[in-house]
Amino acid sequence: MKGLGLPEVVIVLGLMVVLIAGFLPSSTPQAAKEVLLMSKQAGALSSDGYNYRHIKLADNLIISKGVKGTPLLTQAGPIEVAKGVITSQEHTMDFEIPEHIRAKLSSTSLTFRIVDTNEYGPLKISLNGVEVWSGTAGRDEVVDVDLPLSQVLTQNVIKITAGSSGWRIWSPTFYIIENLQVKEKLTSGEEKTFNFELTQEQLDKFNKGRVYIGNVNPIVQGELVMILNGERIIFRGVPGKGSVINSFSSGVQKDNTITFKLTEDGYYEMKNLEIVVFTSANSTGGFSSDFSIPLEDLSKMRKGETEGVIEIDVTNTNSEQPLVVTLSGETEQELYNGIPEEGKLVLRFTGFEAAKSNTLTINSAGDYSLGLVNVKLVRK
């Protein structure tokens, strides 16, 4: 038989490649590198300046929460108290509650843990000279004693003593205790809501708003949330001492509410609370548009697989006033505050700054001409 020549070999190899390729699984389609969420023309931003209006909310506000109890006094120990024919050992603790806080108390308590004891006699607790508890407690037991509010003063003394060992005259009663805490629970209200109104003209020309607190005194620091109209979180954090200013650029309507709410134990005294509303004079208005992120894509963002990208075409700028870009999602974030060059302004945001429903706002007190505004998700 005559062997195969070179042309025949090439043909056979070609057929084999085609045949093998037919049995190979097709490659899985690649996920899209970009997901477009919004694309809109912004147009011109123009303003001759701002008008503003101050809306008083309250002269004074106290907001507090004490579900778990706020420690007033802590002593680690160990501390021993004893009582016998010859031995007598007791322990006293002093603590102070300012009068303005004492008026807001709903309860106070003393807690501690028994490290060791012979339980020959009772353990006794007195507050300001009045016995408020007497009983026995075993080793490793945690004792929680309510302190009657009627006995709580501005200046207080707690005395812990042991009772007699009775007929066991050869050995005194003893208790060794540790982790002593005096706790309070405040009930002046963990949230407060105020109403404020805007006229139709103010709503039409609304540029931004501010929550202004003239002075914050954090007696006990805890996370505070400010919520606009029951859904827009404009602040979440632990404010320090002094004045507080928080801005918002969307989410307003003619009838509005602003809520101050503690999400964990805390106590704040606030003075001179107001809303400042800025409206654009002779303005063609800013740009504002809503967009949504599917929950599956939002999950990918929060895992760090994708990120949000905002592209703004700046076609003309003739202003010394900054362009302000704000994203209102999980919270309100100011993504940009500056004077851009002509061309494409690119901004980025994370899944923790965004939510399922979002609002993008672009404002300026100056003159800008903007083209297409795109919001998209991009794989990292």
**pLDDT surpassing 60 at residue 60:** yes
User: Do residues 237 and 255 both lie within one domain?
Assistant: yes
| Mean per-residue pLDDT over the chain, rounded | 81
Final residue of a structural domain among 160, 186, 212: 186
Q: What region, left, alpha or beta, does residue 28 occupy, with left being phi > 0 and alpha being psi -120 to 50 degrees?
A: beta
Which DSSP helix (H) or strand (E) runs through 10?
helix 6-23
Average pLDDT over residues 74-98: 83
Those residues with Cβ within 8 angstroms of residue 29's Cβ, 6 or more apart along the chain or in another chain: none
Those residues with Cβ within 8 angstroms of residue 222's Cβ, 6 or more apart along the chain or in another chain: 65, 238, 262, 263, 264, 265, 266, 267
Q: What is the pLDDT of residues 108-123, one digit of tens each?
A: 888 899 999 988 889 9
212 or 280, which is more confident? 212
Average pLDDT over residues 295-320: 88
Task: Specify the CATH number for the domain of residue 161.
Answer: 2.60.120.260
Q: Give how far Cα 31 sits from Cα of 120, 158, 262, 376, Å.
A: 75, 68, 42, 15
Q: What is the pLDDT of residues 172-211, one digit of tens each?
A: 889 999 888 887 765 556 788 999 999 888 888 887 888 9
For the chain, percent of residues with pLDDT exceeding 70? 82
Final residue of a structural domain among 280, 301, 322: 280
**pLDDT surpassing 90 at residue 258:** yes
- The answer to whether position 27 is within a domain reads no
In the beta sheet, which residues pair with residue 54? 276
- C-beta atoms surrounding 323 within 10 Å: 23
User: Do residues 83 and 43 both lie within one domain?
Assistant: no
pLDDT band for position 279 (50/70/90)? confident
- The answer to whether position 20 is within a domain reads no
- The answer to whether position 370 is within a domain reads yes
**pLDDT surpassing 90 at residue 242:** no
- The answer to whether position 5 is within a domain reads no
**pLDDT surpassing 80 at residue 55:** yes
Is 89 within 8 Å of 180 (Cβ atoms)? no
User: Do residues 61 and 201 both lie within one domain?
Assistant: yes
Average pLDDT over residues 251-274: 88
* 11 burial level (CB within 10 Å; 0-12, 13-18, 19+): exposed
pLDDT band for position 281 (50/70/90)? low
User: Do residues 219 and 155 both lie within one domain?
Assistant: no
Q: Of 42-56, 176-190, 242-256, where does the model show the most confidence?
A: 242-256
Which pLDDT score, from 0 to 100, does residue 375 have?
93
Is 69 within 8 Å of 105 (Cβ atoms)? no
Which pLDDT score, from 0 to 100, does residue 70 have?
57
Which pLDDT score, from 0 to 100, does residue 69 have?
55
Those residues with Cβ within 8 angstroms of residue 49's Cβ, 6 or more apart along the chain or in another chain: 280, 281, 365
Final residue of a structural domain among 145, 167, 186: 186
Which pLDDT score, from 0 to 100, does residue 372 have?
86
User: What is the maximum span of the chain, computed from C-alpha positions, in angstroms?
Assistant: 124
CA distance 290 to 284: 19
Average pLDDT over residues 329-357: 88
Is 245 within 8 Å of 210 (Cβ atoms)? yes
Average pLDDT over residues 286-302: 87
**pLDDT surpassing 80 at residue 309:** yes
| Gap between the terminal Cα atoms of the chain | 62
User: Do residues 180 and 94 both lie within one domain?
Assistant: yes
The total domain count for the chain is 3
Which pLDDT score, from 0 to 100, does residue 25 have?
47
Is 268 within 8 Å of 224 (Cβ atoms)? yes
Which pLDDT score, from 0 to 100, does residue 310 have?
95
**pLDDT surpassing 80 at residue 18:** no
For the chain, percent of residues with pLDDT exceeding 90? 19
273 or 68, which is more confident? 273
Nearest to 119 by CA among 180, 165, 177, 167: 165
CA distance 364 to 210: 16
- The answer to whether position 240 is within a domain reads yes
- Domain extent, residue 296, equals 34-49+283-379
User: Do residues 85 and 57 both lie within one domain?
Assistant: no
Which pLDDT score, from 0 to 100, does residue 66 have?
64
User: Do residues 82 and 156 both lie within one domain?
Assistant: yes
What is the Cα gyration radius of the chain?
A: 34
181 or 12, which is more confident? 181
Which pLDDT score, from 0 to 100, does residue 16 have?
58
CA distance 245 to 212: 5
27 or 355, which is more confident? 355
222 or 104, which is more confident? 222
CA distance 122 to 83: 10
User: Do residues 138 and 225 both lie within one domain?
Assistant: no
- The answer to whether position 202 is within a domain reads yes
User: Do residues 58 and 88 both lie within one domain?
Assistant: no
- The answer to whether position 242 is within a domain reads yes
User: Do residues 260 and 300 both lie within one domain?
Assistant: no
**pLDDT surpassing 90 at residue 97:** no
CA distance 141 to 119: 12
Q: Of 219-223, 230-234, 344-348, where does the model show the most confidence?
A: 344-348
User: Do residues 76 and 177 both lie within one domain?
Assistant: yes
User: Do residues 309 and 349 both lie within one domain?
Assistant: yes
Pairing mode of beta strands 206-220, 34-45: unpaired
